[in-house]
Structure 1
Amino acid sequence: MEGTSGEGGAPASVPLAKWKNDFSRKFQYYLDRSTPHPVERWLGSLAVAAVYVLRVYLVQGFYIVSYGLGIYVLNLLIGFLSPMVDPELETLDGASLPTRGSDEFKPFIRRLPEFKFWYSITKAFCVAFLMTFFSIFDVPVFWPILLFYWIVLFALTMKRQILHMIKYKYIPFDFGKKKYGGKKPSAGSRRD
């Protein structure tokens, strides 16, 4: 028979599929549990990035992989700093971000949420780390030129993003913003 192992006619891929399903469930469980702990998640990602940087430093190669990783992280950063609905395109529809106190308040919603941003960066560093074990990805290149080009690209891209933020008056971060709380119980209305 095709696709069967000799035991009871069960397909040979069933144990592999079961293992993959079990692994996927456990991975998703731990991923879900990490959601309310952003500081710990980012510290773990920083550790993964440090291991990658140490690997590239010790091997003295894989600069093309690092450059590609840098471009990908820059792309993720732009998505993280951008609003879900671009105000330039929204003005064509007649709706825009509030510019006066009487305008309707619209909260800042990111195009790329923080959790997906973290997960994508961590995955990217893990993939880049794995790529450093295959010599096919170690293309000889003069790395200072790549580094200079990436810095110029970063500066120009961030300048454009910051000008966009200033033009449409939005801040993609929570610090420095007013925090509004619910009604606090007064001392006279307390029950014993």
Structure 2
Amino acid sequence: MEDISLEDAKSHPFFQQIQKLNVTYQRFLDQSTPHVKYRWSGFAVLFLTFFTRIVTAQGWYIICYGLGIYLLNLFLAFLQPKFDPSIEQELQDDSIEAGEMTQEFKPFIRRLSEFKFWYRATVATSLSLFLSLFTITDVPVFWPILLMYFIILFSLTMRRQIQHMIKYKYLPFDIGKKKYGYK
């Protein structure tokens, strides 16, 4: 058997085509970044297609549940600040005891950016839609239990997140905030 070096592999036409596809895909993602409304509209269409597929086929509830849990996890990461305010408050309390007073402005930085949230949600929904095409992934379950469990999990998790937002006085959305710049 021949030993193929890395340079030989990179010069192979198949590898070059894969590289070309990767560059084209990345360029498409880069160009779609400023178009927030179009990206989320595309995600909504994809999600509605998946939801319609689940409702009309009356199956693949485990995949739907898994997608729901994953999207909830992404949404929570989108809502949370990158640096936990409770830890920073403890550090600030320690520095106040030491005699230091620092009240510097710290902007809200998300744990998960909007673009990564959209991208991961789109990939997960596409994968779920793809998996719903195969009968082997249709595991029979009693779907009302999954739905009730998801609703309970969603409400408890969001209540805890909203309490955290109120306690540490941060708002992850820019609704109502002043915007400076051109008109």
Could you state the TM-score of these two structures normalised by the residue count of structure 1? 0.82
Task: Call closer, same or farther: CA 1:29–1:57 in 2, change over 3 Å.
Answer: same
3-state SS, counterpart of residue 94 of structure 1: helix
Q: After TM superposition, give the deviation of residue 95 of structure 1 in Å.
A: 7.2
Q: Which residue of 1 aligns with 2:115?
A: 115
Residues of 2 paired with 1:152 and 1:58: CA distance? 25
- Give the unaligned 5+ runs of structure 1: 5-9, 97-101, 183-192
- Give the unaligned 5+ runs of structure 2: 95-101
CA RMSD of aligned residues (A): 2.3
Q: After TM superposition, give the deviation of residue 105 of structure 1 in Å.
A: 1.7
Residues of 2 paired with 1:92 and 1:72: CA distance? 31
Task: Select which of 78, 88, 91 maps to 1:90.
Answer: 88
Instruction: Identify which range, 54-63 or 120-129, moves more after superposition.
Output: 54-63
Q: Which has the higher helix share?
A: 2
Task: Call closer, same or farther: CA 1:56–1:14 in 2, change over 3 Å.
Answer: farther
AA aligned to 1:111 is R
Residues of 1 paired with 2:140 and 2:67: CA distance? 17
Q: Deviations over 1:15-73 (max 9, x none)?
A: 33222111111111110000011000000111111111122122211000000000000
Q: Which residue of 1 aligns with 2:20?
A: 22
Q: After TM superposition, give the deviation of residue 94 of structure 1 in Å.
A: 2.2
Percent identical residues: 52
The higher-RCO structure (CA 8 Å, 6+ apart) is: 2
Instruction: Identify which range, 108-117 or 129-138, moves more after superposition.
Output: 129-138
1:42 is the counterpart of 2:49: no
- Higher-Rg structure is 1
Task: Select which of 47, 51, 68 maps to 2:66.
Answer: 68
Q: After TM superposition, give the deviation of residue 3 of structure 1 in Å.
A: 7.8
Q: After TM superposition, give the deviation of residue 118 of structure 1 in Å.
A: 0.4
Residues of 2 paired with 1:71 and 1:95: CA distance? 36
AA aligned to 1:161 is Q
1:52 is the counterpart of 2:57: no
